[in-house]
Structure formats: structure tokens, C-alpha cells
């Protein structure tokens, strides 16, 4: 990822927070042939000092067949918005787009064991249901659950390299950073992006 120094986020906690807040990822894998891309939710956890992403794809999706051998990156898109030069006090500036993104590069391990696959699915469901007042639990009839497990391929990805980019106007003068924050807020911009801009570029 193109990474000017002033947009490079070296804070692993901030990167992890972005992954947890925006877990719907773009998974891209490349071998000698054409790259494969799948959009899917992933969860993240630290294991023995290594960030591990977990998820699954449909067995009908050929992407899983190349995962063990391919170079794979999971891309997490954080908050983003158009920035109008009308918000800058300084003259002569142009439009841009502010955003946060995390790229996780790593090795993928397929999970063939049904018990382990079920445990992974239960963990995913529990993670995304946890904020609901009455969380749904994966209590399916054995035959239905077995059919569902046969229709997916679970995997884990150990992150070997992580890049986090926060393009939030850090390269602008203080008055222009404040102008962009005020303009976004006045026009109902995404609160999460405004909060990041205030934290890093305010």
C-alpha cells in the first residue's frame, strides 16, 4: 500500500480497533494466475503475540482452493468521506478523500476438521451476536448443521505483515484540518471519521 510517512499508523491497538469496528473485509489472493477476491466478515484475536484472522467461504467459491499456496491480503476499510476544498481557509487546495484502512498479509490454513470448523462458526456467531439484547445461538438440528458445515470452508490466517493507513489530513495546516472537521460535522459526515480526524489531525 502506498504509505506517505504522515499517514502511516504504527499503533497496533488502533489497527486492531479498526479491524474490530469494520470487520467486513476484502480478501484478495494471488498466484501465477488471475487474483481472486472475496468479500466476507473476519474476526481477529491475538495468539502468542500473533494476530490471527478467522472466517469462512462457501465451498462453491473456488477461492478457497488457492488459499494455502497464494499470497493473501485481508483489507479492512474504515470510515471514509469526501473532503471539499471549500472547507479549507487556505486558498488553492483541491478535493481529496479521507479514510482509514488496514491491510493484513499472511499465510492461510484451511480447517478440514468438522469439529474445529463448527467451533470457528460458533465463535463467529457469538462475536457478531454479542451486542444484541437476545443473541441468536447456533442450535441447529444435527442434519442441518452437518449440511451447513459441508457447504463452507473455514480458515485461519496468521498475519505476517500489517499496514495501517490513516489519511486524515495530517499533511494540511492546522487551520485547514480544523476547517475540514467543522465542514464534515456541519454536513452530517460520518461521526467515526470525524472522531479519528480530531484525534490524529485536530
In three-state form (DSSP H/G/I as H, E/B as E, the rest C), the secondary structure along 30-62 is ECCCCCEEEEEECEEEEECCEEEEEEEEECCCC
pLDDT at 31: 81
Instruction: Tell me the residue range of the domain where 36 lies.
Output: 5-201
Domains identified in the chain, total number: 1
> Which residue has cell 462457501?
58
Question: At 189, which CATH number?
Answer: 2.30.110.10
d(CA 167, CA 165): 6
Report whether 83 contacts 111 (CB < 8 A).
Answer: no
pLDDT at 201: 64
For the chain, 202 residues long, the average pLDDT of each consecutive 10-residue run is 92 93 96 88 94 97 94 96 95 95 97 92 92 89 88 96 96 94 94 92 59
Across the beta sheet with 96-111, the strand order is 36-41, 24-30, 71-83, 96-111, 152-167, 50-58, 43-47
Amino acid at each position: 500500500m502506498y504509505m506517505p510517512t504522515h499517514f502511516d499508523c504504527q499503533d497496533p491497538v488502533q489497527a486492531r480497533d479498526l479491524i474490530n469496528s469494520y470487520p467486513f473485509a476484502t480478501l484478495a489472493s494471488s498466484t501465477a494466475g488471475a487474483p481472486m477476491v472475496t468479500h466476507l466478515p473476519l474476526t481477529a484475536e491475538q495468539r502468542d503475540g500473533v494476530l490471527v484472522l478467522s472466517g469462512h467461504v462457501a465451498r462453491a467459491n473456488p477461492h478457497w482452493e488457492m488459499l494455502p499456496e497464494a499470497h493473501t491480503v485481508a483489507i479492512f476499510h474504515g470510515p471514509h468521506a469526501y473532503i471539499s476544498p471549500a472547507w479549507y481557509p487556505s486558498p488553492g487546495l483541491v478535493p481529496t478523500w479521507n479514510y482509514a484502512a488496514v491491510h493484513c498479509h499472511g499465510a492461510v490454513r484451511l480447517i478440514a476438521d468438522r469439529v474445529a470448523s463448527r467451533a470457528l462458526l460458533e465463535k463467529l456467531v457469538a462475536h457478531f451476536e454479542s451486542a444484541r439484547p437476545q443473541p441468536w445461538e447456533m442450535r441447529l438440528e444435527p442434519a442441518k448443521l452437518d449440511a451447513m458445515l459441508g457447504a463452507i470452508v473455514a480458515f485461519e490466517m496468521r498475519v505476517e505483515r500489517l499496514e495501517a493507513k490513516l489519511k486524515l489530513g495530517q499533511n494540511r495546516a492546522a487551520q485547514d484540518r480544523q476547517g475540514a472537521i467543522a465542514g464534515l460535522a456541519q454536513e452530517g459526515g460520518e461521526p467515526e471519521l470525524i472522531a479519528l480526524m480530531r484525534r490524529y489531525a485536530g
